[in-house]
Chain A
């Protein structure tokens, strides 16, 4: 496919890898923000193309993983209402809550549906006027504008049986949170390309300057990721720390302004709990008061639901790049994709799931042995 195949070309990966090898003189630790990038790195065995001096650590960019346990419990509780149709993206159904998950709720008779797009939820709401249709809205700045669009459309077309359980989160506050951790060892960031497709990268100049750290906007295919790493190491080796764009075919400095306007018209920033990490100041979004009639937390009695994280899962440390999945004593034994302890083992973007699926060179697309 155009704009995919060229960027999976192993020859080009080898060329960029050779460049990285040539310019790297010292050890460097780089964090890729997005879980989609983590999966590409594991799937294609990209770490094996890098010099041993270059270490990749995996970031918090997995919306499913950072959705608070309490909200998952709320979604499960909501799905038990006989007049509710609960909808979400596929990954969300298998994430464990305190005692169950949405998939098990469905098996017990709740109406829980997987959707591809928030706009599909409006169709379900229209087709089921006697039901209350709730969308469990997760995702970063990439996804939130589409949910905002669905909320706006619902208002405009008079769909009053649609609401959202909002768990949207924002990337820049999470980067600041990680950089303020004691003993942080990250020296460069690969920024999440599709978040930047919407938001641009003007927000990252302040981060690069404040923490004296290169931030390179990076795509998701193997060639994109190695190009991002190459540009990061070029900066590190020459003592620079600014924002660079290695995903110019999709990302511009200012981003997609109409999408940003839609996002900020419907949502406003809020302090938000990130699962395993804690509250991040300004780290999430909530519906503005004008859209309160679409807020499931205000429409349904959910206030009493509280939850505690399970023991034996180090998801928080993994999401902050402090540990890697294979450093967890539960990894692959007590915790597997079939029986996950935490969300990173479930999600298609979770680091634990990526390690489980692709560990061992025979499982990698073109990793070296």
Chain B
């Protein structure tokens, strides 16, 4: 129920100020997602969609830093073990 899926914003339609919508790509599928609560949204951004509504934008900088830290951990472990 609480599952949300990351998708890439393809286009934004803010013609209705109470129901801002976006075309969002999930793998090969494009769906209409409500992005009413997402500030500073641009095409190319990633959002987390849940029951047809965006919960939040994906913080790409945070994702990059966290993954890099994990990959660094692997490097360190590798050196330590060898």
Q: Would you give the shortest CB distance from B33 to chain A, in whole angstroms?
A: 9
Q: Are A117 and B52 in contact (CB under 8 A)?
A: yes
Q: Is A220 an interface residue (CB 8 A)?
A: yes
Q: Are A140 and B2 in contact (CB under 8 A)?
A: yes
Interface 0/1 of A34-63, CB less than 8 Å to B: 111000000000000000000000000111
When distances are taken between beta carbons in the complex, the residues of chain B under 8 Å from A258 are 36-37, 39
Interface 0/1 of A294-330, CB less than 8 Å to B: 0000000000000000000000000000000000000
Q: Is B40 an interface residue (CB 8 A)?
A: no
Q: Which residues of B1-27 have CB atoms within 8 Å of chain A's CB atoms?
A: 1-6, 8, 18-19, 26-27
Q: Is B51 an interface residue (CB 8 A)?
A: yes
Q: Are A15 and B77 in contact (CB under 8 A)?
A: yes
When distances are taken between beta carbons in the complex, the residues of chain B under 8 Å from A143 are 1-2, 50-51
Q: Would you give the shortest CB distance from B44 to chain A, in whole angstroms?
A: 11
Q: Which residue of B lies closest to A192 (CB)?
A: B2
Number of contact residues on B: which range applies? 35 or more
**Cross-interface CB contact of B6 among A1, A64, A192, A259, cutoff 8 Å:** A1
Interface 0/1 of A333-347, CB less than 8 Å to B: 000000000000001
Q: Is A194 an interface residue (CB 8 A)?
A: yes
Q: Are B74 and A197 in contact (CB under 8 A)?
A: no
Q: Are A61 and B74 in contact (CB under 8 A)?
A: no
Q: Is A108 an interface residue (CB 8 A)?
A: no
Q: Is A153 an interface residue (CB 8 A)?
A: yes
Q: Are A120 and B2 in contact (CB under 8 A)?
A: no
**Cross-interface CB contact of A15 among B37, B50, B52, B70, cutoff 8 Å:** B70
Q: Are A142 and B55 in contact (CB under 8 A)?
A: yes
What 11 additional pairs, Cβ within 8 angstroms, besides A2-B8, A250-B4?
Answer: A12-B70, A12-B71, A34-B2, A120-B52, A139-B51, A142-B55, A143-B51, A156-B18, A194-B4, A220-B3, A249-B63
Which A residues form the contact surface with B (CB < 8 A)?
1-4, 6, 11-12, 15-16, 18-19, 34-36, 61-64, 89, 91, 116-120, 138-140, 142-143, 145-146, 149, 152-153, 156, 192, 194-195, 197-198, 220, 223, 227, 248-252, 256, 258-259, 262, 347-349
Give 5 CB contacts A-B under 8 Å: A1-B26, A145-B37, A195-B2, A249-B62, A258-B36
Cβ-closest 7 pairs across A and B: A117-B52, A3-B6, A249-B63, A258-B37, A248-B62, A197-B55, A146-B53
